[in-house]
Amino acid sequence: MVKGKHSYFFKEVVLILNRIFTLMVILGVPLTIIGSLMHWSSIVMFIICSLTVIAISSFMGRATESLAIISGPRIGGLLNATFGNAVELIISIFALKAGLIGVVLASLTGSVLGNLLLVCGLSFFLGGIKFKRQKFSIYDARHNSGLLVFAVIVAFVIPEIFSMSMNETKTLQLSIGISVIMIILYLAGLFFKLVTHRGVYMQEENVETEHEEPEWSKRKAVTILLLATLAVAYVSENLVHTFESVGEQFGWSELFIGVIIVAIVGNAAEHSSALLMAMKNKMDVAVEIAIGSTLQIAMFVAPVLVIVSLFMPTAMPLVFTVPELVAMTTAVLLTISVSNDGESNWFEGLILIAAYIIMGIGFYLL
Amino acid sequence: MVKGKHSYFFKEVVLILNRIFTLMVILGVPLTIIGSLMHWSSIVMFIICSLTVIAISSFMGRATESLAIISGPRIGGLLNATFGNAVELIISIFALKAGLIGVVLASLTGSVLGNLLLVCGLSFFLGGIKFKRQKFSIYDARHNSGLLVFAVIVAFVIPEIFSMSMNETKTLQLSIGISVIMIILYLAGLFFKLVTHRGVYMQEENVETEHEEPEWSKRKAVTILLLATLAVAYVSENLVHTFESVGEQFGWSELFIGVIIVAIVGNAAEHSSALLMAMKNKMDVAVEIAIGSTLQIAMFVAPVLVIVSLFMPTAMPLVFTVPELVAMTTAVLLTISVSNDGESNWFEGLILIAAYIIMGIGFYLL
Amino acid sequence: MVKGKHSYFFKEVVLILNRIFTLMVILGVPLTIIGSLMHWSSIVMFIICSLTVIAISSFMGRATESLAIISGPRIGGLLNATFGNAVELIISIFALKAGLIGVVLASLTGSVLGNLLLVCGLSFFLGGIKFKRQKFSIYDARHNSGLLVFAVIVAFVIPEIFSMSMNETKTLQLSIGISVIMIILYLAGLFFKLVTHRGVYMQEENVETEHEEPEWSKRKAVTILLLATLAVAYVSENLVHTFESVGEQFGWSELFIGVIIVAIVGNAAEHSSALLMAMKNKMDVAVEIAIGSTLQIAMFVAPVLVIVSLFMPTAMPLVFTVPELVAMTTAVLLTISVSNDGESNWFEGLILIAAYIIMGIGFYLL
């Protein structure tokens, strides 16, 4: 009974959010076009584009979700894994094209920090205020902790440290090598999760998933996904071009824009669904979204951007700044040690949020 | 029966220790006054003051304990959390006043290393010689591991790394920001432990605690606490002024004095009670004292000192030296990985002690 | 039944391997002598000596194994712990004599990386292809994780960081102090495992061990061990002298030769037995070999080499290069987080192998 009441309340919230996002898209896309033609001020364009990207990405999320349900768990998992961070990828490609390599690396950092600290933290905190102790699968938490250490600590730290005594060519060679290995490992991980070990570790969830019904038909979902991707691409390009002058006017560094602003805009859609899940006490799903998204960024988006950058004017090596790397590494250690017991409460959420704020202040002052 | 015998033996040990400490206070305080008026040599004053501080702090511990029992678990927990590291705080404030910022940061480092490696190590070792396998709550160990990673790895590493490319003003701003966040989090942690989640995770201990009787009446305890605080303040001021010339005569660096000497003097009282608990096979309490004290130092004493230093001639940013930071970080990782299984034995104790000795040699040679 | 079939298949594989190794020794030792007298080219000598060392070390392994079974678990454990890395020790002593300190440190690094990432990785991967989920003792995994953090993170990182602001004499003093402590701790660990806590944590294995029969008699085993040690010493000396010119011809750095080549040659014998165990689903033994060997290298071979180097022309401080240290530290964190759940599968194996390849590329490009 109580569960039914909860579900009803959350359905209402989701419906209202969807209406708001629809309105934002209907207003935002034309405004972006007009503003771009009429050369509105950077700050106005920055605000319009940011909000519009967030709104469109919620449509992409819903379309992917519908397609995933229609295509069954295997293809569905693949779709989620590919389109889950499409917005982030599109913004980053335009930033690469504009030569803003620092912003791209910073936004990767920001996505990792945002997912691990802010999304997990808010999920634990908001969920923990409603429920005294929330549990999630210890197995998943530990499986993911191995991947997080690999993706962030090994694959990001090694090029950083080794490149200190390398020339640029060798640094790029190392980055490409690591990127290829990571993409292979990412695909192998999908193969592991969707084929050889599907359902081996998570019986309960599968049962629940069967009942779900797609929001949109296959045709409608594909159409929306295509249109949304085009729209996001157009708006993102406009957004990227505002970074420089917005940074100057607010006194924000390239690093701060990437780590905080781009990361929040690029991941807002997933963030909200993780929070909704946490407040429904579906902690397994909330943690899976936050950590799964981090792994996707680190093991798929980052290496793909390295490869893509080879066809751009300036190639991007996988070399973060030291503060970025230290922030990501400590975020991984903190998340692992906080989530290692398969339980969460509001105080653990607060710890993660506090870590995010500390890092945010740090990047602001840098 | 055996338990009764043990209890009796330990009560005897405690009684003898208490008598020795009483004697040390009765002799030490007047000697400090006489020595300070007659300008005795630094080394003599250093030895007298150190021993007197240790003795007085045992009285503060007993007074706090009595008050905690009288006031019930909530206020009691608050009292313990506030007065538990009062001696450390008082010595540090006098060191700040004397401009010895390096000594203060080093003594914070030393308290963290001493509690995590020496106290945990000796507890595991001495307890492990008597009992083959000692168990303690896995839940607490994991809960604390998240806090340790936050307090030491995130909150201490971030300002260190970020300040490398910041000017002094921004470094101080970052330190103040982090300090405020840590104090809020420390208070939130008390609220979590004493209000919203009291008894949620630790049923057994509460049962035992009910039987305890206070050693002193409320009035006597308050009086002793006040007198002891005054006495510690007076003796500490004299102690701090001996550091420079003692360091010169023994060839000890500021770092070594802070990390090893001040840390041992400032924490001796708690150290002895943790060891007594370990030898009584109350490993839960021993670990709680050692790790709880570390968290208090990192999340309460350190940020309070940063704030206090703003009203002193020289402000203290939360920036440790690289060796200090690496020592603390590796100590946290070692303690977490050793205590993660909720069990201890003499060999695990030896590992922690060995790590402490290695770091001690390192700081001595620096 | 199935188990019998497996056993039979693996016995066949072992028999064939043994024959190949016998042939390699019979050919390799005379060829090394002839080549050394006739001054064959470095590359030819490098290949002959490498293969011969691998073949002889398999004989040393079998002799130690037989002696261990004959002498019972205590002395047997001691023998394994002493002779397990004898080949590595012998090659390193000749490299020290030749003044190749960089190669020695690099080969220690390579042994740690090879055991933790390559051997564990291949064991998990190959075992995981045959068996969906393989389990091993969580207790051992956690016990070992404490030791790994101590040996690699504390004992290797501390001298590195502290020596940055020390002169050479003090760096050497610190290295000697740490080495003495580590050897004492290694012996204490054997005492713990073989005397005070023998069988406390691992009942099942002991039962199985009782059935084993020695391959060779005591006399034969001792004779073979002595002859093999002499032969390895002779061949290793020739091998070490080829490093410089082989490195020049292939464009390999001292670091790459040590980390990849020497480490593989020096540990090949153990590597193969770990893999055989993994494919027999004896994951406990495979993990024990890989991690036990790492601990032996870090806590026994490395400090012994520091002490031995004091009697050589150039003393070797325990100071690795930054890339070596970062590679070892991240490898330890990765192995701990992957093996922490007491389970393995092919994908976890792939993660470890990928980390090894990434580091290999890094050291090749350095």
Contact residues, chain C, for A154 at CB < 8 Å? 330-331, 334, 355, 358-359
Q: What is the DSSP letter of B135?
A: E
Mean pLDDT across A119-146 = 84
Cα B72 from Cα A164, distance rounded (Å): 57
Question: What's the pLDDT score for residue C2?
Answer: 45
pLDDT higher than 90, residue C291: no
Q: In chain C, whose CA is at the least distance from the CA of A165?
A: C366
Question: What's the pLDDT score for residue A199?
Answer: 67
Please tell me the distance in Å from C44's CA to the nearest CA on chain A: 30
Q: Do C197 and B132 touch (CB under 8 A)?
A: yes
Cα B348 from Cα B35, distance rounded (Å): 44
Against chain B, the chains showing at least 3 CB pairs within 8 Å are A, C
Q: How many CB pairs under 8 A join A and B?
A: 88
pLDDT higher than 70, residue C5: no
Q: Do A354 and B182 touch (CB under 8 A)?
A: yes
Contact residues, chain A, for C359 at CB < 8 Å? 154, 158
Confidence of residue B206 (pLDDT cuts 50, 70, 90): very low
From the candidates A333, A336, A353, which should be mutated to test the interface with B, based on the most B CB atoms within 10 A?
A333
Cα C300 from Cα A348, distance rounded (Å): 40
Q: What is the DSSP letter of C133?
A: -
Q: Do B154 and A323 touch (CB under 8 A)?
A: no
Share the mean pLDDT of chain C.
86
Cα radius of gyration rounded to whole Å, chain B: 20
Strands (E), chain B: 134-135, 343-344
Residue in A145, A158, A170 closest to C337 by CB? A145
| Joined tokens for residue C120 | 């564990």
pLDDT tens by residue, C229-264: 899 889 988 998 898 888 888 888 888 888 888 888
Start-to-end CA span in chain C (Å): 52
Confidence of residue A206 (pLDDT cuts 50, 70, 90): very low
Residue in B330, B345, B365 closest to C166 by CB? B365
Question: What's the pLDDT score for residue B199?
Answer: 67
Question: What's the pLDDT score for residue A307?
Answer: 95
Neighbours of A327 (CB within 10 A): 30
The reported pTM is: 0.90
Q: Do B155 and A338 touch (CB under 8 A)?
A: no
* Conformational region of residue C329, where left means phi above 0, alpha means psi within -120 to 50, and beta covers everything else: alpha
Q: Do A366 and B162 touch (CB under 8 A)?
A: yes
Confidence of residue B200 (pLDDT cuts 50, 70, 90): low
Q: Give yes or no for a contact between B88 and B301, defined as CB atoms under 8 angstroms apart.
A: yes
Contact residues, chain A, for B155 at CB < 8 Å? 358
From the candidates A138, A140, A149, A175, which should be mutated to test the interface with C, based on the most C CB atoms within 10 A?
A149
**DSSP of B294-340, one letter per residue?**
HHHIIIIIHHHHHHHHTTSSS---S---HHHHHHHHHHHHHHHHHHT
Contact residues, chain B, for A359 at CB < 8 Å? 154, 158
Half-sphere exposure of B287 (CA within 13 A, CB side): 28
Which long-range contacts (C-beta less than 8 Å, at least 24 apart) are formed by B129-134? B129/B346, B130/B279, B130/B281, B131/B281, B132/B345, B132/C196, B132/C197, B132/C200, B133/B343, B133/B344, B133/B345, B133/C200, B134/B278, B134/B281, B134/B283, B134/B343, B134/B344, B134/B345
Decide: helix, strand or coil at residue A124. Answer: helix
Residue in B148, B178, B188 closest to A358 by CB? B178
Question: What's the pLDDT score for residue C60?
Answer: 86
pLDDT tens by residue, C119-133: 899 999 998 888 888
Q: Do A132 and B200 touch (CB under 8 A)?
A: yes
Cα B156 from Cα B320, distance rounded (Å): 8
Please tell me the distance in Å from A348's CA to the nearest CA on chain B: 8
Question: What's the pLDDT score for residue B135?
Answer: 84
Mean pLDDT across B47-71 = 87
**DSSP of A255-322, one letter per residue?**
HHIIIIIIHHHHHHHHHHHHHHHHHTT-HHHHHHHHHHHHHHIIIIIHHHHHHHHTTSSS---S---H
Q: Which residues lie below 8 Å from residue C261, measured CB to CB, with a gap of 6+?
A: C50, C110, C252
Neighbours of C10 (CB within 10 A): 14
Residue in C147, C164, C174 closest to B351 by CB? C147
Q: What is the DSSP letter of B215?
A: S
pLDDT tens by residue, C178-204: 999 999 999 998 888 888 877 666 544
Against chain C, the chains showing at least 3 CB pairs within 8 Å are A, B
User: Residue C344: phi, psi to the nearest 5?
Assistant: -140, 160
Dihedral angle, C-alpha A173, A176, A180, A182, nearest 10 °: 110
Mean pLDDT across B52-78 = 83
Cα radius of gyration rounded to whole Å, chain A: 20
Confidence of residue A125 (pLDDT cuts 50, 70, 90): very high
C-alpha separations of A39 from A24, A94, A232 in Å: 21, 19, 19
Residue in B149, B164, B181 closest to A357 by CB? B181
Against chain A, the chains showing at least 3 CB pairs within 8 Å are B, C
Q: Give yes or no for a contact between A131 and A366, defined as CB atoms under 8 angstroms apart.
A: no
Cα C106 from Cα A122, distance rounded (Å): 45
Query: Residue written as tokens 């940055």?
Result: C164
Q: Do C337 and A188 touch (CB under 8 A)?
A: no
pLDDT tens by residue, B297-349: 999 999 999 999 999 988 999 999 999 999 999 999 999 988 888 888 899 99
Q: Do A150 and C362 touch (CB under 8 A)?
A: no
Q: A28-37, A116-125, A141-150 — which is least confidently predicted?
A: A141-150
Q: Do C150 and B341 touch (CB under 8 A)?
A: no
In sequence order, the β-bridge partners of residue C134 are C344
Mean pLDDT across B25-44 = 92
Share the mean pLDDT of chain B.
86
Please tell me the distance in Å from B198's CA to the nearest CA on chain C: 30
Confidence of residue B1 (pLDDT cuts 50, 70, 90): very low
pLDDT higher than 60, residue A208: no
Q: Do A178 and C350 touch (CB under 8 A)?
A: no
Q: How many CB pairs under 8 A join A and C?
A: 87
Mean pLDDT across B347-366 = 93
Using a 10 angstrom Cβ sphere, with 0-12 exposed, 13-18 middle and 19 or more buried, the burial of residue C82 is middle
Question: What's the pLDDT score for residue B2?
Answer: 45
From the candidates B140, B157, B158, B318, which should be mutated to test the interface with A, based on the most A CB atoms within 10 A?
B158
Q: What share of chain B is helix, strand, coil (3-state, %, to 5)?
A: 85, 0, 15
Residues written for chain A: 366
Mean pLDDT across C15-33 = 91
Q: Do C351 and A147 touch (CB under 8 A)?
A: yes
Q: A321-325, B82-86, B313-317, C197-201 — which is least confidently predicted?
A: C197-201
Mean pLDDT across A89-111 = 90
Q: What is the DSSP letter of B131?
A: S
Q: Give yes or no for a contact between B305 and B93, defined as CB atoms under 8 angstroms apart.
A: yes
Contact residues, chain C, for A153 at CB < 8 Å? 330, 333-334
pLDDT higher than 60, residue B207: no
Share the mean pLDDT of chain A.
86
Q: In chain A, whose CA is at the least distance from the CA of C356?
A: A154
Q: When comparing pLDDT for C241 and B267, which is higher?
A: C241
Cα B228 from Cα B251, distance rounded (Å): 32
Confidence of residue A6 (pLDDT cuts 50, 70, 90): low
**DSSP of A176-232, one letter per residue?**
HHHHHHHHHHHHHHHHIIIIITTTTS-HHHHHHHTT---SS-HHHHHHHHHHHHHHH
Residue in C133, C346, C350 closest to A185 by CB? C350
Cα A36 from Cα A39, distance rounded (Å): 5
With CA atoms as reference, report the closest residue to A144 among A133, A132, A156, A136.
A136
Q: Do B350 and C188 touch (CB under 8 A)?
A: yes
Q: Give yes or no for a contact between C107 and C98, defined as CB atoms under 8 angstroms apart.
A: no
Show which residues on chain A lie within 8 Å of chain C, measured between beta carbons.
Answer: 139, 142-143, 145-150, 153-155, 157-159, 161-162, 164-166, 170, 173-174, 177-178, 181-182, 184-185, 188-189, 192, 196-197, 200, 336
pLDDT tens by residue, B250-263: 888 888 888 888 88
Cα B130 from Cα C20, distance rounded (Å): 52
pLDDT higher than 80, residue B203: no
Decide: helix, strand or coil at residue B116. Answer: helix
Neighbours of A243 (CB within 10 A): 21
Cα B306 from Cα B309, distance rounded (Å): 5
pLDDT higher than 70, residue B7: no
Interior CA angle at C320 toward C315 and C321, to 5°? Answer: 125
| Joined tokens for residue C100 | 């190749």
Contact residues, chain C, for A185 at CB < 8 Å? 350-351, 354
Mean pLDDT across C258-272 = 81
Residues of chain B with pLDDT > 70, as a percent, come to 94
Question: What's the pLDDT score for residue C271?
Answer: 79
Q: Which residues lie below 8 Å from residue B99, measured CB to CB, with a gap of 6+?
A: B312, B313, B314
pLDDT tens by residue, A279-301: 888 888 888 888 888 998 999 99
Confidence of residue B245 (pLDDT cuts 50, 70, 90): confident
Q: In chain A, whose CA is at the least distance from the CA of C338?
A: A146
